[in-house]
Every structure is written in structure tokens, then in C-alpha cells.
Amino acid sequence: MPLQIEQSIALICLFIWIGFVCSISFLEAWLKFRAPGVTVAIGLGIGRLVFHALNKVEWVFALAVTGTVLWNSTTFIAWPNAFLLLVLMILVAQTGWLLPRLDARADLRISGKPVTDSNTHIYFVVAEILKVVSLFIIGIHLIKR
């Protein structure tokens, strides 16, 4: 059975989204600090800019995928919807809680002020892993349909 246009749009968005997150969160984020001449302050400034841009792009993908679910409710069954809901909850947490906390820590570090220990970065990485796995599960489900 050929893919419906909504499934195709969702698949394209899901796998491009996975590519964005993997390339930025799991490669660029730590690699930029190894480039010659990149100080911690410059790296943090670049990171803030890149992660805020990624977050905005992720919301576009999230709206596109969620729109396909709302447009054609037969595209997904209950358990993939749970993974989509998890992804949306992660995005809300990253946008409203994790990124602002990481920004505040980066601002302190850039200005040379002391930064206390925090697990916020670990939470962000775990959220990124959960998000990628969830997006992959949704995508595989769509391919199998």
C-alpha cells in the first residue's frame, strides 16, 4: 500500500529531525571546543545560539508531525501517539526549563563568575537520547505501515 502524503510528510520530518538532533547535540556540541582558538566563552556563546535555533526548528518539525496526526488519525495507533506525546513533553521541558537553566549557567561561566555543580546538562542529554529514540520508533512504525 503506498504511503499517504501525510505519512510521507511525517517520515521526512521525523528523520530530518533525528539528523538535526544527532548532528548538533551529539557531535557539534562537544566538537566545537576542540577547534583551535575556540575558548570556553566563545564555545558557550556558539552553543547557546545553535541550540536555540535547533529548538525553534524542532518546534516546526513537531507541529508538522503533530499536524499529520491530527489530519489523519489513522496514520498512528495508540502507542506511537504515546511516543509523540513524550517527544512533545521533552520539547516543552527543554524550551521552558532546561535551555533557560543552561543559558543562565553559560552566562555565569562567560562572565567569569563561579558556577555551582548541576545535573541540568545530564538531564538535557538524557532528554535528547529519549527524543531521538522516540522519533525513531515513530518513524519505523510509519515505514512498517
- Structure confidence by residue, pLDDT tens digits, 106-118: 999 999 999 999 9
- Give exposure, 15-48, as e/b (b: 16+ Cβ within 10 Å): eebbeebeebbeeebeeeeeeeeeeeeebbebbb
Residue 61 lies in domain: 5-144
Under a CB-based contact definition with an 8 Å cutoff, are residues 125 and 100 in contact? no
pLDDT of 74 over the 80 cut = no
Rounded to the nearest integer, the mean pLDDT of the chain is 91
Grid cell 558556577 is found at 115
- What is the number of structural domains in the chain? 1
Question: Residue 72: which of 8, 136, 144, 116 has the closest Cα?
Answer: 8
